[in-house]
Structure 1
Amino acid sequence: MRRVAAVLLGVAPAFAFAQSMEGMDHSTMHHDTETRSADWSDGVAPSSMHGMDMMDMDDTAPTGMLLLDRLEAFAGQGDHGQSWEGEGWYGNDTDKLWLRSEGERTGARLHDGDVQLFWSRAVAAFWDAQVGVRRDIGEGPGRTWLAVGVQGLAPYWFEVEATAYAGESGRTAARIRLEYELLLTQRLVLQPEVEINAYGKADPLRDIGAGVSRLAGGLRLRYEVRRSVAPYVGVAWEHLTAGTASLARRDGRRVTDRRWVAGIRIWL
């Protein structure tokens, strides 16, 4: 009897399900499937995501950017003060107007700095050729230079700037900068950099000797509160060489200086 009851309990639900299926209108089901649109949109008009339409993409549309890479205070073995380094551009993927500036202030006076303006043109993937002018500011007479150079990303993502200058009275100069960004976390970035400056002839009025005049470097650790705002701390060093070192010794200035720095990096 127990086995019979178990069989009946198993058969009863299946029988009830079969009865319910007999009452359904299968023609209606077939009709609903046939009337659905071929692309399953049910008549809803398609829409595009903003900025994803190929017609909206235009490589020739001008855009701009302003980066204040360094705005910092420093305390060194020889002196203390403030320094800056920044750049900005406006243009398209091929041609840009490029502005670059760096310098430092010690005590209550502008010690040294320059402003450069370039026309920049893309010549290869990640590389631009640049031509423009540079104006030296700060202590001593102002100097104006014609400038020609390249900038871009070298293998392993090293940022490179290499510029040659020609000035009045047969003056020549060159500057090379190497920079790298090492992501320790999504927000913590270590940024080493090296800069080399050289001059073809001495300019004592600006405390510059002939040859390689200055080697500088830095190691800065920044925390990106947002991608566009990042405070940082670090250490920087400077070493004067050749005739520039001799002029520094004559004036009682240090040839080698190490500085502790703290500042903020901002881009717009």
Structure 2
Amino acid sequence: MNKILLTSLCLLTTLPLTSVRANTEDASGGRDPHAHSNGFTLTSGPYSMPAPRQLVLADEHHFGSVIVDRLEYQPDNEFSEYELNAWYGTTWNRLLLSSEGEVEDGEFSSETDLLWQHALTAFWDTRLGIRLDQASEGENQQWLAAGISGLAPWWIESSAMLYLNDNGQLAFTLSGEHELLFTQRLLLNSQLELSGYGKDDQQQAQAAGLAQVRAGIRLRYDLSRHFGPYAGIDWKYSLGENADYLRQAGEPTDNAEFVVGLHFWF
């Protein structure tokens, strides 16, 4: 008796679905998108809007942001450094300004990229533009820039960039960054960057091959979603003839420094 009752209830629940399905199919057997709109559509009827379409999806809007990843100070050698990214555009195309700079003994040097960023896939973007270097020693340089950036497996924010200047010098950078969350506010940021050059340039103290390995870990506490102080260790190691250039200038080729700083964005 129970089995008969259960079967009857199942059949009754399918009747409304069957009738709705029949009413929403068009002559070709496909689903009619206007079956329940009483004949009204986005482009016709008393509720339609004139001229440009009114429905704008989220990825079509223009947004912008300024993110200061690192604004830090090294107490041991009174050395200051910053890294910031500013962008404006849509999900698919953005104008990106990326800059890193440092102040040491009152002298300022920086590397600034102005790039057009275009979405290649869901997790990767292509980049194309220029880079301007302001050097505390040597000459300022201008580069053409091209590369790719995105989110690699295990949530590693990755970037690979190639640069070419008017002297035919080729430079490259490979970087990866990961954030490990202990809580919603306390996190450990780790970074690794490799850089090098395509040929020797004694005037700019650049030697062919891998020039420098840089790594850092920073423990940050976000006081809010937009602001967080941090402390950590930053390590730089120069290689090959690039290290020789630093020795000749009286600069260290391998150093690890304690840093304190701020991360914020708006």
TM-score when normalising by structure 1: 0.76
Structure 1 residue 56 displacement after superposition:
5.8
Name the aligned partner's letter for residue 188 of structure 2.
Answer: L
After the TM superposition, which residues 1-268 of structure 1 pair with which residues of structure 2 at under 5 Å, given as runs?
55=55, 57-75=57-75, 79-110=77-108, 112-139=109-136, 140-268=138-266
Q: Cα offset for 1:249?
A: 1.2
User: In the alignment, what sits opposite 1:44?
Assistant: none
Pair member with larger Rg? 1
Paired residues, number:
212
Alpha-carbon displacement from aligned partner over 1:87-144 (angstroms, at most 9, x marks no partner): 011000110001100021111111x320000001001011100100001112221111
Unaligned runs of 5+ in 2: 1-53
Unaligned 5+ segments in structure 1 are 1-53
Greater relative contact order structure (CA < 8 Å, 6+ sep):
1
For the aligned residue pairs, the C-alpha RMSD in angstroms reads 1.4
Superposed displacement of residue 55, structure 1 = 4.0
AA aligned to 1:67 is I
Preserved contact between residue 202 and residue 243 of structure 1 (Cα < 8 Å) = no
CA distance in 2, matches of 1:193, 1:89: 21
CA distance in 2, matches of 1:74, 1:195: 19
Q: Cα deviations across residues 197-226 of structure 1 (Å, max 9, x unaligned)? A: 010123333332221111101000110000
- 1:249 aligned counterpart, secondary structure: helix
CA distance in 1, matches of 2:78, 2:194: 22
Paired residue type of 2:179: E
- Contact 1:134-1:147 at 8 Å conserved across structures: yes
Q: Indicate how the Cα distance of structure 1 residues 198 and 149 shifts in structure 2: closer, same or farther if over 3 A, else same.
A: same
Question: Identity across aligned pairs (percent)?
Answer: 34
SS of the residue 1:124 aligns to: coil
Local SS of the residue matching 1:221: strand
Q: CA separation in 1, counterparts of 2:56 and 2:128?
A: 32
Q: What secondary structure, in the 3-state scheme, does the structure 1 residue paired with 2:154 have?
A: helix
Distance in 1 (CA, whole Å) between partners of 2:265 and 2:201 is 35
The residue type paired with residue 175 of structure 1 is T
How many Å separate the matches in 1 of 2:158 and 2:133? 21
Query: Which structure shows the bigger proportion of residues in helix conformation?
Result: 1
Q: Which residue of 2 aligns with 1:42?
A: none
- TM (norm. structure 2) is 0.77
